Amino acid sequence: MSAADVQRLLDCCPRVGGVGVRDYAILTLLARLGLRSVEVSRLRLEDVDWRSGAIAIRSKGRREGRLPLPVDVGEALVAYLSEARPQVSTRRLFVTERAPRGPIRADLVGDVVERACKRAGLPTVGPHRLRHALAGEMLRQGSGLTAISQVLRHQDLATTALYAKVDFTALRAVARPWPGTEAA
């Protein structure tokens, strides 16, 4: 998925009404921070540290980490919390819009992405594809695998390498010829 396609998903998301504002906030977290579905569903209100501009993430394997909170993600969360989040007793950040209201499950995150793809006229993808798109875009912008690994919260750089597909055409344009061979 290209950066333009990801932006199209975001642009086509309605930012009015409870579901639209919530879905935009979810899509923004997926696209800008590369969160997994389960990480989005587990977010709590206290995970957003507004003073320091960071967000706490509970990853796979019960690991916890913090990521900087980009301005657009913060704005989407503020809109959701101030305009659309129903009054419920749960401390989970995202809640369902229909009764019985409660914390969203990870599979709802996939439904959000599927609806966004349909609105944008794109082939249906799952939320994990947005992680891959973020890794690829970070690589194109010049980030190293270590930085990408930190954002995606991978323990092994080999895993990150699978996500951050190398653009071989762009690489050929900057690669030097192998010593002892002629440039092609």
Sign of CA dihedral 13, 26, 75, 10: negative
User: pLDDT digits over 2-33, tens only?
Assistant: 899 999 999 999 898 889 999 999 999 999 99
Q: How confident is the model at residue 172 (pLDDT cuts 50, 70, 90)?
A: low
The pTM assigned to this predicted structure is 0.84
- Does position 112 have pLDDT exceeding 70, yes or no? yes
pLDDT value at residue 168? 58
- Residue 114 confidence class, pLDDT cut points 50, 70, 90: very high
- Looking at the chain, the whole-number percentage of residues with pLDDT higher than 90 is 57
Q: Residue 153 pLDDT > 90, yes or no?
A: no
What are the domain boundaries of the chain? 3-127
Which H/E stretch holds residue 115? helix 106-120
- Asked if 116 and 23 touch (Cβ cutoff 8 Å), the reply is yes
Which DSSP string corresponds to 19-48?
HHHHHHHHHHHHHHH---HHHHHH-BGGGE
Residue-level pLDDT at 180: 74
pLDDT at 184 over 90: no
Please give the CATH superfamily to which domain 3-127 belongs: Intergrase catalytic core (1.10.443.10)
Mean pLDDT, the chain, whole residue set: 88
How far apart are alpha carbons 173 and 175 in whole angstroms?
6
Phi/psi of residue 68, nearest 5 degrees: -65, 145
CB 36 within 8 A of CB 130: no
Size (the chain), residues: 184
- Ranking 37-46, 48-57, 126-135 by mean pLDDT, the lowest is 126-135
Return the active site residues: 36, 60, 128, 131, 154, 163
Q: What does the pLDDT read at residue 108?
A: 94
